[in-house]
Amino acid sequence: MIYRRLGKSGLKVPAISIGLYHNFGDVNDYQHSKDIVLKAFNRGITHFDLANNYGPPPGSAEKNFGRLMKDELTAHRDQMLISTKAGYQMWDGPYGDGGSRKYLLSSLDQSLKRMNLDYVDIFYSHRYDAETPLEETAYALDSAVRQGKALYIGLSNYSGETTRRMADIFKEMRTPFVVNQPKYSLMERSPENSLFPVLQEKGLGSIVFQPLNQGLLTERYLARIPERSRVTNPAASLTEKDVTHEYLKQVRELKDLADKRGQSVAQLAISWVLRRQEVSSALIGVSNTQQLEENIEAIHMNSFEECEITALKQIFNR
């Protein structure tokens, strides 16, 4: 595994991180999920990313990860980087959502109990909450560190300008704010314009999620839509309407380029995000250990010829 420094902090993260979003809830087979996590750890992936609402049902991903920690990984806690988040709807009533001090710190306490942990390495505000002052959210995150419940602080789904404002608040408090977690892929490139310049300015790192755009940046849908794929899952945000003729044309052209590079489409997509200096790690979710092994190989081919960059711009009209 290759490890990269998270911005200008002293913290290093693996180039590939594992997200436990859709594959570690109560609806999934625990042994199967366990095999993925242990395989990842044995391959040098030390960072495991969760959130309070991951599952389904919400909370179950943390609960199952806590079971795995207790049964298999307690002795390796200091070799692991574990993160969780709070920000989206978690429980009923006025205190189970948003960016208030009440919600964030209550949620973190619940998350630690579910995961059988004394602390997390990174605690994120999962989203910007327009109804809560930025200062309140920032002070709550700072409190999590000062209470010994988190080592570092992060933001996710925050714009570049809001990230800049939060960075200034954290700097005044000397809070170890180190990372923003945005959605970034060949199909979602908005962070390049607004967020990445701020990260460079403030010395922050990024751990990007959905580098495969929920599986669309793979070869999975080229022949047909497989059964039990994310597209056929009623709970997923993808639908068959996303598998358009234009999309299939793009992936076929992407496959031609990947073949020339000696990669799969998925490997090319991960290599492409890792080429950016602002990107410390690509956060992936996998359905099996074979996908995991394939994706790990992407860390070794992160350079692109100028003609390849031009070809990618033409494929996605950017």
Give me the pLDDT at residue 63, please. Answer: 98
CA proximity to 298, closest of 314, 313, 278, 284: 284
CA distance 114 to 109: 9
Can you tell me which residue has the tokens 């109804």?
131
CA distance 151 to 288: 31
Give me the pLDDT at residue 225, please. Answer: 58
Architecture of domain 3-214+277-297: Alpha-Beta Barrel (3.20)
User: Would you state the structure tokens that stand for residue 256, as one six-digit string?
Assistant: 């031609």
Question: Cα–Cα distances in Å, from 194 out to 124, 161, 166, 256, 284?
Answer: 20, 8, 15, 31, 23
Q: Report if pTM > 0.85.
A: yes
Give me the pLDDT at residue 200, please. Answer: 97
User: Would you state the structure tokens that stand for residue 66, as one six-digit string?
Assistant: 């806590």
Query: Residue 148 has what DSSP assignment?
Result: T
Query: Residue 278 has what DSSP assignment?
Result: T
- Residue 212 contacts residue 184 (beta carbons within 8 Å): no
CA distance 265 to 247: 13
Give me the pLDDT at residue 239, please. Answer: 62
User: Would you state the structure tokens that stand for residue 204, as one six-digit string?
Assistant: 């922050």
Beta strands in 21-114 (DSSP E): 47-49, 81-86
Query: Residue 129 has what DSSP assignment?
Result: -
Give me the pLDDT at residue 245, please. Answer: 86
CA distance 231 to 287: 14
- Residue 54 contacts residue 90 (beta carbons within 8 Å): no
Instruction: Please give the average pLDDT of every successive group of 10 residues along the chain, which has 318 residues.
Output: 97 98 91 96 98 96 97 97 98 97 98 98 98 98 98 98 98 98 96 97 98 92 64 57 84 96 97 96 95 95 94 87
Beta strands in 27-100 (DSSP E): 47-49, 81-86
Can you tell me which residue has the tokens 């009623």?
234
Give me the pLDDT at residue 231, please. Answer: 55
Give me the pLDDT at residue 244, please. Answer: 83
CA distance 106 to 85: 12
Strands 12-14, 3-5: pairing kind: antiparallel
Can you tell me which residue has the tokens 């709550």?
140
245's enclosing H/E stretch is helix 245-261
Can you tell me which residue has the tokens 């940046």?
217
